[in-house]
Structure 1
């Protein structure tokens, strides 16, 4: 199957680029990775408590996890893409090709690597395009001050602590659950860094206001 991040984001980022006003990009991206969130609670054998990669799971698992209507579409892209890479039945139905019998190679051994490389490359390109569009839309607006030392310092601490926790969880030697867990740790670390900068910026503005009020320069 394609990697949770960034390969599985390719279909939903393409939709966001094509119709930017239709859906929320965060909800789409959250939904696209929702089926794999169950790996956070995977056991020592790598098995999850239930199969979250099924169409019914879009509603009893993916929707509650993502907490957004557009996330169902993102999650559907994940389940659908995994189905295409997990089984060669669709090749037999559409093209009359029995891949495993003709090639002697399991379909997933080819489709996993191909879909991961293509999906990851496409996701990076689409994310960069959306980022440039966002820069144009915020041109001229007052943006928060950048504090890279604080941001990366906090993010680094959270990442190290999170990685240590991941290493102690069941199934830590298995690629799938550990990879998904590390992706979540990375996201949490970046979020913590952003929050630290935001809180620090608010504190600085408060100090500036109080100083201005005492000196009369704020009038």
Structure 2
């Protein structure tokens, strides 16, 4: 009986510690990481920065979506999906609000497919319920904050993914410039998988 009570007491001590780190876990696909390595894009480091609410890193991950298709595109969308409650709904929405409209629409479509694959049950619910700001932005609608300064998503409401990788977010101030953090943000970039149009007559 004493052994049982001791084991129960130990378990109670461990559970809060696990819960506290729940939202530092984000799924990352080995295939996507491999593709990123081929184009010298520091995928894991960029995800880490995005988890620390680095808007530029979030934009870079969105732009990286352009080079992916098929299963890898959905796997990357799953990473982006699981990043929203980590970085916060508001931070994510503000970071991408001025990005290419078609890129946002394609990302939303992929995220909705990724909802079927995520192991985080709370993220399988309609996105507009748990990430209303991201939902509005991805649908190319203007952001209207009911409670400015307050993040909509509460970390304690989201359980971790079983196959997630722990991401320890570091303060942005400590992050020096990196030549591997590519692709660079481009708010006026062309639509997904379409080359930019050149102007005629040397204009």
Q: Which bin holds the TM-score, normalised by the shorter protein?
A: under 0.3
Larger radius of gyration: 1
Q: TM-score, normalised by structure 2?
A: 0.27
Q: TM-score, normalised by structure 1?
A: 0.25
Structure scoring higher RCO (CA < 8 A, sep ≥ 6) equals 2
Q: Could you say which structure has the higher helix fraction?
A: 1
